[in-house]
Amino acid sequence: MWDLLLKGAMVVDPLNHLEAIRDVAIENGVIAEVGIDLPAGSARVVEDYSRRILQPGIIDSHVHLGEMWGSPFGFRMLAMAGVTTCLDMAGPLDNVLKNIPTYGSGINCAILQFASPPFTFKTNEPSKAEMDALIDQSMKDGALGVKLLGGHYPLKPAVSSLLIKTALEHGAYIAWHAGTSEHGSNIEGMREAIELSKGNFLHLAHINAYCRGAIRDEVDETREAIELLLANPNVHCESYISPRNGTRLSCYENGEVQSKVTGNCLRRFGFSTDKAGIEAAFKARKVWAVYDAGGYSDLMTGEEGLAFWKQHNTDVGGSFNVNPPLPRVWLAEAKRPDGSFVVDALSTDGGCIPRNVLLSQGLSLVKLGILTLSEYAAKTSLNAARMLRLQNKGHLSVGADADITIYDYDSQKPVATFVRGKTVFKEGQVYGAGGTVICTAQGVEAVKAKGIEAIVVDPGQPVERFVV
C-alpha cells in the first residue's frame, strides 16, 4: 500500500516529457507510480490537488541562510515560498549548520563556505597552504565546497584562479561572485572570472548581476554575457529574477563601506561610499535594511531603516533596487544551439533576504510566454539538481526522491511541498523541521554528529545539460 497519493494535478516533469493530469503515488519517500486515475484505496492518505500544478520540488540554486545576511529564519521563508532544496552561497558554515536543528523547516540544503577576506582569509592574497586548509576543513565540517565573494571582498586575480584549481583538486564544489582586486562585479569581472577558470568547472553566480549597465549599456552587457557563456560551457550558472540585490551595509572604522557591491550601489544612485552615503541613501529610500521581524526577515528604509542601521553599528544586511528587467528576461530565455539553456537555472539570492520569488515572479515569465511550464520546471528543479549532482531529485521518475512542489498557477503561490514524501508546507503552514545537508563523503560524520541527516554527492562528476 502506498503511503501517499496525490490526485488530479497537472503534472509537469521535463525529464519524462510529461505535462498532463496525473496522479502521483509515494511510498517510503520515493515516487512509486505516476499514472491516470490511480486507485485511492491503494494509499493510506489521499490528497486532491485538482486544478493545481505539480512539479519536481523547486530548487533555489542561490540563497543565503547565515544570520550575517539578516536572520536565522531563511529555512522557514524558503519553505513558505515552495522551495524543497537550496544551495547556500556563503554560510558562514558553522552558523547555518548550528541553526538547522532549531530553525530548519525540513528542506534540503547544500552549503558553500565563503572564501574571502577579511573573514576566512586574512588578506586578498592567501597562500596555497591557506587555501588547502580552508577547503579541507570546510568539507570535513559539512560544506559542499567554497565560494569566492569577489564582488564584495575581492582577491587578487591570480589567487582567485588558483583557488578554483585548488577547490577542484579537493573534489569541492566551487562558485564565484565575480570580481577581483582588478575588476569589479560587472561584465568585465564576469569576463575575467571565465578567463581565470581556465576551462574548469565553475558555478558563476547570478549572471544578471553583471549586466546592470555599469560599463556599457545593459543590452550590450547582456549580449556579451550570453556570448561568453555560449563559448565557455565549463561555466554553469543561474540568474535571479528579483529587482533587489543583497549585500552588507557594514562600514570600517574610517567610515568607508566594507563591501565593494555596496559601494557600487551607492555610486549608482549618486551617493558617497561611506557612512554619510548610506545615511543619505536611507533618507532617499534607495536602500533597505534586512531585519528580524519575528519568525521571518523583512525590509525597512527611510528614517526607520536608518535608525536600525545605526542601532546595530552599521553591521546589517541590506538591499538595493539595482537589477533592470531586460537582462533578467533575456538571461532566463536564452538557449544554446542544442536547445539547452545558456543560463542553467533561475534563483532568488534570497533565503533570509526577503526576495524568495521563484514562484511569485518566476511564473510571470510563463504567463508572458517567455518560458513554457516545462521550461520553468527545468530551470527551477531539474537543471539545479544536475548542477548539485543530485541524481534522484529534479524529476518524478519511479524511484526518485519524492520531493514535490504544488502550486496555484493563477495566484502564483505554493499550495504544498513534500520532501521525500513528508509534508514540509501546506496551505500557508510550515510543518517540516530540521533538515538534510547535501555534502561530500568527507563531511558526513560531522553533519550526523550535529543530529542532521546527510545526502552524499560528488561535485567532481560531470554535469549533463538537459535539452527541453
Please report the beta strands in 301-382, taking only residues with DSSP state E, as ranges in sequence order: 317-320, 345-347, 350-351
Please say whether the beta carbons of 217 and 243 come within 8 A: no
pLDDT category at 385 given cuts 50, 70, 90 is very high
Structural domain spans, the chain: 2-56+392-456, 58-243+322-384, 244-321
Please say whether the beta carbons of 323 and 330 come within 8 A: no
For residues 9 and 195, give the distance between their C-alpha atoms in angstroms, rounded to a whole number. 46
Q: Is the pLDDT of residue 119 over 90?
A: no
The confidence score (pLDDT) of residue 190 equals: 98
Specify the CATH number for 58-243+322-384; select among 3.40.50.2300, 3.20.20.140, 3.40.50.300, 2.30.30.240.
Answer: 3.20.20.140
Q: What is the CATH number of domain 2-56+392-456?
A: 2.30.40.10
When pLDDT is averaged across residues 84-103 and rounded to a whole number, the result is: 97
Q: Is the pLDDT of residue 118 over 90?
A: no
The confidence score (pLDDT) of residue 47 equals: 98
SS3 of 92-110: the string is: CHHHHHHHHHHHCEEEEEE
Q: Is the pLDDT of residue 68 over 90?
A: no
Q: Is the pLDDT of residue 69 over 90?
A: no
pLDDT category at 59 given cuts 50, 70, 90 is very high
Mean pLDDT estimate for the chain:
96
The confidence score (pLDDT) of residue 99 equals: 97
pLDDT category at 251 given cuts 50, 70, 90 is very high
pLDDT digits (tens, 9 = 90+) for 317-375: 999 999 999 999 999 999 999 999 999 999 999 999 999 999 999 999 999 999 999 99
For residues 224 and 192, give the distance between their C-alpha atoms in angstroms, rounded to a whole number. 13
Q: Is the pLDDT of residue 61 over 90?
A: yes
Q: pTM of the full predicted structure?
A: 0.94
pLDDT category at 468 given cuts 50, 70, 90 is confident
- Dump the DSSP string for 229-245: HHH-TTEEEEEE--SB-
Please report the beta strands in 125-223, taking only residues with DSSP state E, as ranges in sequence order: 145-148, 173-176, 202-204
pLDDT digits (tens, 9 = 90+) for 280-320: 999 999 999 999 898 899 999 999 999 999 999 999 999 99
When pLDDT is averaged across residues 237-245 and rounded to a whole number, the result is: 93
CA angle 200, 174, 352 (to 5 degrees): 150
- Largest interatomic CA distance in the chain: 70
The confidence score (pLDDT) of residue 459 equals: 97
- Give residue for cell 565575480: 178
How many Å is the Cα radius of gyration of the chain? 21
Backbone angles phi, psi at 150, to 5 degrees: -55, -40
Backbone angles phi, psi at 74, to 5 degrees: -60, -35
Q: Which residues contact 73 (CB under 8 A, 6 or more apart)?
A: 103, 292, 295, 296, 297, 352
The confidence score (pLDDT) of residue 294 equals: 86
pLDDT digits (tens, 9 = 90+) for 182-217: 999 999 999 999 999 999 999 999 999 999 999 999
The confidence score (pLDDT) of residue 70 equals: 82
> Shortest CA distance to 380 belongs to which of 348, 351, 354?
348
The confidence score (pLDDT) of residue 263 equals: 94
